[in-house]
Each structure stands twice: as structure tokens, then as C-alpha cells.
Amino acid sequence: MSPVVELAGVSKLYGDVVALRDVDLVIGRGELVGVVGPSGSGKSTLLNIVGTLSRAGSGTVRVGGHDVSELSDGELSALRGGTIGFVFQQFHLAAGVPAVDNVADGLLYSGRRRPERIRLATEALRSVGLGHRLGHRPHELSGGEKQRVAIARAVVGDPPLLLADEPTGALDSASGAVVMDVLRDLNAAGTTVVIITHDHEIAGSLPRSVRIRDGRIAHDTLVAS
């Protein structure tokens, strides 16, 4: 299993505050991983570094085979656009815009023409069980449906890596279970999925769980096994 994410000795400081300290982490292509920890543990900093939204203070970060320290800001943007999909706790959907257009907007900078973007967006929404909601606007959707639209937007360009930051945090348990099923289905289809969560039950239900505390990896079920 070739790695899609490789961190070696990664640290990150914000002033005098240590957010990450000497983190080593390898995530293989096709894995489904939960990164779990309390607020302030460093898990969101880890996601930002893996997602190339933030640069490490020290150590080596490789994403999709690229050493991100060697990439310019433009090259990092290109790497994010072609390699990484993001899903957040808040859905970040454009108000008043139909679901299919919210998803198609994820391809605005891909060079594809609008009919092709709409076709791919329609396929992405069908893949998350929302083929019957193409024309619905965010205010006409439930919280779980909004999150599934956000997932469809994240994967419409078929990125090999999906980073989901507390994807069920704003949902009731039933809607959260549906979203988790969608993420598992995407992983089964070949997408590497990393889920950041504070919920130990969710992390424990995944094939691999990485626990972070005080900026360090406290436990990794893959390493432990």
C-alpha cells in the first residue's frame, strides 16, 4: 500500500504554544483513518498541515509523493486542487444556489465547461444518495443532506485523498450515521479518507484510529497491532 501522506518529525508552534511535536505518521493509499482527540490536542493543526493549508514548523511532510516544503504557493494550490478534498463541520454551501450548482462550483478552476461540470456534479450527488435533490437549495435540505452535498462537492474532482474535519459534529445521530456510511462507501470505492473527530465511538468504528494528545500521537492502532 503506497503512502499518500507521510509525516516525519513534524512540529508546529504558534508563538510559545506547541500545537504539534515530533509527529510521525504514514497513511497508505486506500486507508480509512480516524484522528481523534480533545479540543486543543493538535488534531486540527494536523489536518491543516496534511491538507497543505498550513506549513510545518519543522520536519518533513509529503502528500501524494510531493515534499510540500519544496513547493511554491501556486504549486501547493495545484496539489490541493488535484489531490485533496475537504469536508468541514460547517457545510459552506452558497445560499440560494441549487445543490447541483454548489457541487459543480467545486470544478470552477478545473478548465471544464459548465455542461461537463453539471454532469459530474450530478453523478457526485447521486453517489451520495441525493440524485433526487439536484435542484434543492440549502434551506430546503436537512443538515445531513447539506453535509452530503458538501461531501459531493469535495469529491466531484475525484481526489485520491479526502480530509473530513468533524463531519458529523453539527448533525443528529441518525444523520451522522448516514454521513459516516457515505464516507465508508467512498473509501470502499478507493478514496483515502481521514476523519478528524473528538468522538471516540466514531474513531473506534474505523479500521484505524490515531489518538492525539498534547500535540503528540498517543496511540495508533495500526502501529499497536
Cell reading at 199: 468522538
3-state DSSP of the chain: CCEEEEEEEEEEEECCEEEEEEEEEEEECCCEEEEECCCCCCHHHHHHHHCCCCCCCEEEEEECCEEHHHCCHHHHHHHHHHHEEEECCCCCCCCCCCHHHHHHHHHCCCCCCHHHHHHHHHHHHHHCCCCCCCCCCHHHCCHHHHHHHHHHHHHCCCCCEEEEECCCCCCCHHHHHHHHHHHHHHHHCCCEEEEEECCHHHHHCCCEEEEEECCEEEEEHHHHC
pLDDT of 188 reads 96
Per-residue pLDDT reduced to its tens digit, 63-115:
999 999 999 999 998 899 889 999 998 899 999 999 999 999 989 878 889 99
Question: Rounded mean pLDDT of 21-28?
Answer: 96
Q: Report whether 32 contacts 182 (CB < 8 A).
A: no
Cα dihedral value 198, 200, 201, 203, nearest 10: 90
Cell reading at 116: 461537463
pLDDT of 206 reads 96
Q: Where along the chain do its domains lie?
A: 3-224
Per-residue pLDDT reduced to its tens digit, 105-152:
989 878 889 999 999 999 999 999 999 999 999 999 999 999 999 999
Residues 6+ apart with CB under 8 A from 74: none
pLDDT of 1 reads 62
Q: Report whether 102 contacts 137 (CB < 8 A).
A: no
Read off the amino acid at residue 62: R
The answer, yes or no, to whether residue 223 has pLDDT greater than 90, is no
The answer, yes or no, to whether residue 225 has pLDDT greater than 60, is no
Cα dihedral value 196, 32, 57, 91, nearest 10: -40
pLDDT of 71 reads 93
pLDDT of 98 reads 97
pTM of the entire predicted model: 0.93
pLDDT of 89 reads 87
User: CB atoms < 10 A from the CB of 80, how many?
Assistant: 17
Cell reading at 125: 450527488
Per-residue pLDDT reduced to its tens digit, 166-220:
999 889 999 999 999 999 999 999 999 999 999 999 999 999 999 999 999 999 9
pLDDT of 43 reads 93
Q: Which fold has domain 3-224?
A: Rossmann fold (3.40.50)
Distance, in Å, from the CA atom of 190 to the CA atom of 202, rounded to the nearest integer, reads 20
User: CB atoms < 10 A from the CB of 126, how many?
Assistant: 14
